């Protein structure tokens, strides 16, 4: 039985918490795309953790965690994250890494940084983790796979060819120092040794365990609106965070995914540039930002304050559609308890026309939000565990969203901890 947990918005919907929670009843948790460019925050009995490379199942000894072929592996960050867990007394996680996954190289990070600097005010707001240059090179077929670490001749030749071009660009286009290919090669051999016990054919592993009826969770990073094909291009990420891609990036048959849980945030937040129709500013935004998440809405990777907005039902319905969601988990509902009235963006005004269809980027940039106001509940709902016990206006808010999107909300998260959850 395979389930996918994916974001319906811009990311930071609280997928880490939901995955960590559902991992208790899973055998395997798989990351299928992205790298260290986003963080998943998990709060459990061990404390608070911001994971970047590691899957969200690593706190359970019975779970095998997989970094699939679709992911972008930054070995340095991966090893540091593992060390940090060890220092905090977490049992060594059961982690395996696909031998077909590719590696984030030092030049990817340099190009990410220098290109954003070159773009200046036109920059995309990249986390500068090297992810866009990484995927560009992957599809340009000049990426380095994990398996190359164990074939030194091939690795050396690849690094030689790649640095020839990269160094030309680094020195001439950006006026930067070249990369020392020999050093990179030696470092990679060292990294290769360190991770070798974890490296294997994860696709074969998953296929075998599928046949045995094991419970598999596929964990998406970011959200549908950041998808390069269906999202707000070019303000997107560089790999697909959609459940449809999960089969590819993990290495399982698409028809095995029986449940797609789209995580939907009770308000909106966004990192990076691009149109964000229901965005709010000033005092209104800082009030929501400070109350959001478990310690304010600040990027888990960069610490940047997130852009804030009201719930955008148009964008979220679209996000759930492209995810192919079978049910929803509505998160961070507790955060809205301070408001007298809560705006929900139910349509867009574009050049004087009203639409509730999510448009292409040039039109989205012109869209103005049309709000419906719902009454607030003005109390702390974080201790409530049964849906019937929620204040009437909180239920009204949930049901309005459910009706608008047309997909059942089966989970409501009302606090950052594992057991802050209402199941319906
Ligand atoms: P992810 O990348 O989708 O996993 O999202 P984040 O790591 O950015 O998670 C969002 C933040 O909200 C984190 O700080 C979580 O600890 C926190 N969080 C998750 N669910 C809830 C919730 O229901 N209520 C509150 N108050 N915080 C939550």
CATH number of the structural domain spanning residue 319: 3.90.170.10
Last residue of a domain, one of 223, 240, 261: 261
What is the structure's pLDDT at 116? 87
pLDDT for residue 195:
98
What value does the mean pLDDT take over residues 58-64?
Answer: 95
* Same-domain status, 117 and 243: no
Is there a single domain that holds both residue 355 and residue 216?
no
| 420 pLDDT more than 80 | yes
| Active-site residue flag, 380 | no
Closest ligand 1 atom to residue 292 Cα is 26
Residues 300 and 410 in one domain: yes
Number of folded domains in the chain?
Answer: 3
Q: What is the mean pLDDT of residues 106-131?
A: 89
Domain end residue (candidates: 176, 195, 214): 195
Tell me: do 252 and 277 sit in the same domain: no
Q: What pLDDT score does 6 carry?
A: 98
Closest Cα to atom 9, ligand 1: which residue?
Answer: 14
Q: Hey, what long-range contacts does 45-51 have (CB within 8 A, 24 or more apart)?
A: 46/88, 46/89, 46/90, 47/88, 48/294, 49/85, 50/300, 50/301, 51/16, 51/81
Q: Which of 27, 40, 137, 420 is catalytic?
A: 40
What mean pLDDT comes out for the span 289-312? Answer: 90
User: With bands split at pLDDT 50, 70 and 90, how would you rate the model's confidence at 11?
Assistant: very high
CB-defined site of ligand 1, < 6 Å: 7, 11-17, 38-41, 43, 293-294, 300, 331-332, 334-335, 413-416, 420
pLDDT score for 38: 79
Residue of 333 and 91 predicted with greater confidence: 333
Q: What CATH number did the domain enclosing 62 receive? A: 3.40.440.10
Q: Is the pTM of this model over 0.85?
A: yes
Which residues contact residue 250 at a Cβ distance below 8 angstroms, ignoring those fewer than 6 apart?
30, 32, 66, 68, 69, 70, 202, 206, 218
- Residue range 16-50, pLDDT digits in tens: 899 989 999 999 999 999 999 877 888 888 888 88
- In the chain, the percentage of residues whose pLDDT exceeds 70 is 100
Taking residue 108's Cβ as centre, other Cβ atoms within 10 Å add up to 27
Query: Is residue 167 located within the same domain as residue 48?
Result: no
The ligand 1 atom nearest the CA atom of 223: 3
Per the annotation, the verdict on 62 as an active-site residue is: no
Q: What pLDDT does 304 receive?
A: 85
Pocket test for ligand 1, best of 5, 14, 417 (most atoms within 8 A of CB): 14
Q: What is the distance in A from the centroid of ligand 1 to the CA of 305?
A: 14
Backbone angles phi and psi of 417, in degrees to 5:
-85, 160
Each residue of 129-168: pLDDT tens digit?
A: 999 999 999 999 999 999 999 999 999 999 999 999 999 9
What does pLDDT average to over the chain? Answer: 95
Regarding whether 228 and 94 lie in a shared domain, the answer is yes
Is the distance from CB of 368 to CB of 278 less than 8 angstroms? no
Best of 293, 311, 413 for a ligand 1 pocket test (most atoms within 8 Å of beta carbon): 293
Distance, CA of 279 to CA of 227 (rounded, Å)? 20
338 is in which domain, residue-wise? 265-423
Q: Where are the beta strands (DSSP E) in 174-253?
A: 199-200, 216-223
User: 286 and 163 share a domain?
Assistant: no
Residue 307 has pLDDT above 90, yes or no: yes
Q: Which whole number is the average pLDDT over 238-251?
A: 97
């Amino acid at each position: 039985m395979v389930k996918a947990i994916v974001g319906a918005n811009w990311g930071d919907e609280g997928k880490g918490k939901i995955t960590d929670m559902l991992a208790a009843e899973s055998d395997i948790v798989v990351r299928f795309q992205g790298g260290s460019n986003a963080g998943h925050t998990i709060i459990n009995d061990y404390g608070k953790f911001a994971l970047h490379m590691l899957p969200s199942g690593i706190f359970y000894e019975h779970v095998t965690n997989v970094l699939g072929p679709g992911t972008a592996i930054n070995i340095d960050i991966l090893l540091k994250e593992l060390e940090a867990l060890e220092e905090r007394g977490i049992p060594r996680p059961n982690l395996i890494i696909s031998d077909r996954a590719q590696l984030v190289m030092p030049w990817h990070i340099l190009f990410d940084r220098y290109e954003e600097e070159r773009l200046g005010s036109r920059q995309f707001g990249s986390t500068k983790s090297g992810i866009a240059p990484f995927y560009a090179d992957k599809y340009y077929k000049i990426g380095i796979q994990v398996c190359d670490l164990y074939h030194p001749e091939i690795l050396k030749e690849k690094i030689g060819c790649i640095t020839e071009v990269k160094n030309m660009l680094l020195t001439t286009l950006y006026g930067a120092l070249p990369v020392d290919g020999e050093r990179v090669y030696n470092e990679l051999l060292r990294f290769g040794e360190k991770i070798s016990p974890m490296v294997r054919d994860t696709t074969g592993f998953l296929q075998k365990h599928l046949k045995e009826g094991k419970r598999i969770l596929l964990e998406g990073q970011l959200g549908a609106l950041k998808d390069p094909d269906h999202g707000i291009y070019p303000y997107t990420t560089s790999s697909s965070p959609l459940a449809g891609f999960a089969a590819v990036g993990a290495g399982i048959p698409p028809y095995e995914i029986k449940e797609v849980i789209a995580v939907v945030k009770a308000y909106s937040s966004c990192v990076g540039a691009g149109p964000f129709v229901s965005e709010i500013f000033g005092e209104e935004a800082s009030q929501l930002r400070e109350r959001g998440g478990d310690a304010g809405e600040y990027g888990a990777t960069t610490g940047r304050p997130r852009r804030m907005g009201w719930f955008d039902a148009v964008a979220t319905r679209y996000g759930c559609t492209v995810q192919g969601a079978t049910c929803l988990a509505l998160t961070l509902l507790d955060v809205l308890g301070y408001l007298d009235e809560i705006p929900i963006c139910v349509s867009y005004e574009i050049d004087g026309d009203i639409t509730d269809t999510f448009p292409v980027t040039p039109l989205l940039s012109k869209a103005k939000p049309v709000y419906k106001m719902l009454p607030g509940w003005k109390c702390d709902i974080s201790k409530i565990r049964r849906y019937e016990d929620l204040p009437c206006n909180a239920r009204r808010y949930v049901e309005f969203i459910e009706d608008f999107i047309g997909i059942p909300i089966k989970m409501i998260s009302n606090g950052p901890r594992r057991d802050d959850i209402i199941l319906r």
